[in-house]
Amino acid sequence: MGTIAVRLIIVGIVQGVGFRPFIHRAAIKAGVNGYVRNVGGSEVEVFAEGDEAKVARFLRAIMTEHPPPAVIEEVEVISEGPRGIEGFRILKSEARSLRESMIPPDIAICSECLREVLNPRDRRYGYAFNSCAWCGPRFSMMYRVPYDRENTSMAKYRLCHNCVKEYRDVGNVRRYHAQGISCPKDGPKLWITDRLGKRVETSDPIKEAARLIDEGYIVAVKGLGGYHLAALASDDDVVAKLRRRKRRPQKPFAIMALDVGVAGKLVYIDELAKEILNSPQRPIVLLPKRGDSPVSRLVSPGLDVEGVFTPYTALHYLLLRNVRDGFLIMTSGNAYGKPMCINEECAYKLLSGIADYFLVHDREIVNRVDDSVVRFTDGEVVMLRRARGYAPAWIRVKAGFQRPVIAFGAELQSAGAVAFNDKVILTQFIGDAEDLDILEDLDRYIKFLVRTYRIDIKDSVLVVDKHPHYTSRRLASTYSRVYGSRVVEVQHHYAHVLSVMADRGLIGDVVMGIAIDGVGYGDDGAIWGGEVILVRGDLSYERVGHLEYQPLVGGDASVTYPTRFLTSVLSKFLSDGEVFKAVRSLGLVKSLPRGELELKYVVSAVRRGYYVSTSSIGRVLDAVSSLLKVCTYRSYDGEPAMKLEAYSRGGAELDSIDVKVRSLGGEYVVETTAFIDDVLQHVLGGYDGRSIALTAQIRLGEALAHVVAKHVRGLRSFSGVVVLGGGAAVNTYIVRGVRRVLSGEGIEVLLPRRVPPNDGGVALGQAVATITGIDSL
Ligand SMILES: [Zn+2]
Ligand SMILES: [Zn+2]
């Protein structure tokens, strides 16, 4: 048999996951000569020569035996002439791969590492920082690319004799050439202190922390991407104390459970949910609560889902194993409205009023990474917060960026982005940019991407939301002032639609988008939020329909107190006296902070035209939520709408509630005034509240879908695809309504997969909006 040679270009998640060492090992095992090296951010080049059977065995091993976190997307096999190479080597990375090196996201502890931690005979028994080539922190501990130990906060820990041996042993599957490894002898150390930073004497800090938690104390735990606050989830008094100290009356807390078995006692878990809970990304998953769940009702009041996740480091696993319940509240360790703490300076300053004790380690958290959150919408997985495990993996788009882009996102739940060539890299979830500390973080993580990918800010296009008051715009103005780069405004809902299009590979197609959320500054100066938008092949857009404009009196107050917004809608079709009578008979006067006075003020403001107009679906859902008394005070973003969705469970659809669409001046308008009147009549008529809630959401979805269906009739070159974006696009009943109408028309309805449909994904759309000349593709 003759000697043959092949060159392979392997594309996928192949860096930071032990891929090159694996190739090396496979080559030795198969008996082929050659080399392996990184040649691009997500590409590895392999050259192998040997006799035919050996090369074939090598290729088979690559496909079937690669490390678990590695994902092979494509393999290009090129036949070449043998070069007479002796042995097999890992070559230095090519220079061009440094510029385009993907920053590997953090990976949850693998089952092999966990097995070692739990094995009394293993030298890593009970070791909280165990990791290998397949798992462990990546982005959260990286100062710079590439992912080599000296570029991470593991640099200061010198490997002991045994670890060096493992690192150099090509036969060691998980530790040969693994950058982040350590052991109890040479790795990070743990200790525990009181709230003043005074050490608590103990031989086992994790067991001690578990004991304190079981006694009802709140313990701040330094983890992988930041601090958590850990507390018993089964004890009402403890949860109430945490809520008081954190000044967080209603917003749900996440629960970490030891494993899927324990989690299954709290929530219903199907096969898909189980897979996500055990995935290397290990996000928080919102799942339906069990009726017999031992979790305190105060953990997620008014919601039918619980946010559950499982340990993603040995530290978390050991803590959970030692607490009596096997599950705990693990909520972000941040002060109200502030970013999660990543160092002791922040923790002792901001969390000492919340936590009683601190479980601390000495490994530096370089980049803050919050826990990611996903949910199910109409049976499909949707991302709500993109951070640990997902960020900052890049997203390839079907077109090229002529110039580098820096996108600053929106305002709430924000993330920024940079883009170059055919890639968009979103920062991890940053938070609500209206807070200055969070704005600082946005700056910091955008700059991290700018440095990593050597983006020339001077030459870049800076993209901001059109909203004149968004704080993130200030950051863009600063960049523009310092570097002289151009700032471009992109309309919020158009960006939402583009974001989903980019995620689903639809750039260049004629697509309809439904963008629904709470607030977005419109092209006409009104507050948009219930939009149907057509995007053409050249990325130009047209607003083809929207929810009817409603008066919003006094902006923020009407968002915080949904009854105010309800009152202004009622004023449109009822006389003053009738509005008062209706709000009184619904028992809603007391839900306005200034009662009757406020009621009269809102009606008179509407009469005199003192309001801004809004087509926001969020406000309409708020009004329904208030009508049904599901939520009349909003303590966190989206609360009335989320509680309305939860409340609908078990309701039946009512044929008598309807929403009409009319054509007005070339646009379609969904008539929400008549709709609210309809809902009001059903509430006063004593219909079942859950059924009213359920039907109202389905009908809004159907109405938006009718706008799409009407517009695409006769629309040339329509791709047959509708994308759904915006914070309200995660609402199961709205999506169900949209799908029901459009599936009858043979139109496909798509949600984003890799980015959140909410404002956390807007920066992707903002970046894509700068692409021009696309019809030449
Ligand atoms: Zn591992
Ligand atoms: Zn060691």
Residue 270's contacts (CB-CB under 8 Å, 6 or more residues apart) are: none
> How would DSSP label each residue in 264-280?
TTTB---HHHHHHHTSS
Span 647-683, pLDDT tens digits: 999 999 999 999 999 998 889 999 999 999 999 999 9
Token pair for 306: 């619980």
CA of 179 to the centre of ligand 2 (A): 12
pTM assigned to the model: 0.95
Which of the 8 DSSP states describes residue 193?
E
Span 492-528, pLDDT tens digits: 999 999 999 999 999 999 999 999 999 999 999 999 9
* 276/270 Cα distance (integer angstroms): 10
* 330/210 Cα distance (integer angstroms): 13
pLDDT band at 775 (very low <50, low <70, confident <90, very high): low
β-bridge partners, 142: 152
**pLDDT above 90 for 723:** yes
Sign of CA dihedral 50, 52, 58, 59: positive
Active-site positions? 20, 38
* 160/182 Cα distance (integer angstroms): 8
Tallying the residues shown for the chain, one arrives at 777
Which of the 8 DSSP states describes residue 460?
P
Token pair for 679: 């809902």
Residue 777 pLDDT: 44
Q: Which ligand is nearest to the CA of 68?
A: 1
* 734/754 Cα distance (integer angstroms): 21
**pLDDT above 90 for 727:** yes
Span 117-174, pLDDT tens digits: 999 999 999 999 999 999 999 999 999 888 889 999 999 999 999 999 999 998 898 9
**pLDDT above 90 for 101:** no
Task: Over range 365-389, report the average pLDDT.
Answer: 97
- Collapsing DSSP states into helix, strand and coil, what is residue 230? strand
Residue 92 pLDDT: 83
H-helix or E-strand containing 672? helix 672-684
Q: How far is CA 203 from the centre of its chain?
A: 38
Which of the 8 DSSP states describes residue 109?
P
Span 186-234, pLDDT tens digits: 999 999 999 999 999 999 999 999 999 999 999 999 999 999 999 999 9
CA of 331 to the centre of ligand 1 (A): 25
CA of 476 to the centre of ligand 1 (A): 40
CA of 310 to the centre of ligand 1 (A): 16
CA of 17 to the centre of ligand 1 (A): 10
pLDDT band at 23 (very low <50, low <70, confident <90, very high): very high
H-helix or E-strand containing 494? helix 492-503
CA of 137 to the centre of ligand 1 (A): 10
- Collapsing DSSP states into helix, strand and coil, what is residue 75? strand
Q: Which ligand is nearest to the CA of 187?
A: 2
CB 552 within 8 A of CB 623: no
Cis upstream peptide for 392 (omega within 30°): yes
Residue 34 pLDDT: 97
CA of 2 to the centre of ligand 2 (A): 45
Phi, psi of 175 (to 5 degrees): -125, -10
Looking at the chain, the whole-number percentage of residues with pLDDT higher than 70 is 98
Instruction: Indicate the burial class of 198 (C-beta count within 10 angstroms; 0-12, 13-18, 19 or more).
Output: exposed
CB 758 within 8 A of CB 373: no
Ligand 2 being an ion, which residues bring their Cβ within 5 A of it?
160, 163, 183, 185-186
CA of 701 to the centre of ligand 1 (A): 45
Q: Which ligand is nearest to the CA of 166?
A: 2
CB 470 within 8 A of CB 464: yes
Looking at the chain, the whole-number percentage of residues with pLDDT higher than 90 is 87
Residue 184's contacts (CB-CB under 8 Å, 6 or more residues apart) are: 123, 124, 126, 127
Token pair for 769: 């909006």
Residue 17 pLDDT: 86
CA-wise closest residue to 98 among 40, 45, 152, 35: 40
Q: Taking all residues of the chain, what is their mean pLDDT, rounded to a whole number?
A: 95
Instruction: Indicate the burial class of 241 (C-beta count within 10 angstroms; 0-12, 13-18, 19 or more).
Output: middle
pLDDT band at 776 (very low <50, low <70, confident <90, very high): very low
Residue 72 pLDDT: 85
pLDDT band at 320 (very low <50, low <70, confident <90, very high): very high
Tell me how far CA of residue 366 lies from CA of 137, 139, 142, 152, 418, in angstroms: 11, 8, 6, 8, 20
Residue 1 pLDDT: 60
Q: Which ligand is nearest to the CA of 69?
A: 1
- Collapsing DSSP states into helix, strand and coil, what is residue 359? strand
Residue 98 pLDDT: 57
Token pair for 107: 């990976």
CA of 187 to the centre of ligand 2 (A): 7
CA of 343 to the centre of ligand 1 (A): 25
H-helix or E-strand containing 260? helix 260-263
Phi, psi of 584 (to 5 degrees): -65, -45
Q: Which ligand is nearest to the CA of 132?
A: 1
* 354/218 Cα distance (integer angstroms): 7
Task: Over range 286-292, report the average pLDDT.
Answer: 97
CA atoms within 13 A on the CB side of 308: 30
Token pair 């299954």 is found at 264
* 321/330 Cα distance (integer angstroms): 14
Span 577-629, pLDDT tens digits: 999 999 999 999 999 999 999 999 999 999 999 999 999 999 999 999 999 99
Biggest distance spanned by C-alpha atoms of the chain: 97
Residue 412 pLDDT: 86
| Strands 305-309 and 527-535, bridge-based pairing | unpaired
Name the E strands within 297-437: 305-309, 327-332, 357-361, 373-377, 380-385, 395-396, 405-407, 417-420, 423-426
Residue type, 99: R
Q: Which ligand is nearest to the CA of 115?
A: 1
CA-wise closest residue to 503 among 642, 369, 390, 637: 390
Cis upstream peptide for 146 (omega within 30°): yes
* 597/268 Cα distance (integer angstroms): 46
**pLDDT above 90 for 769:** yes
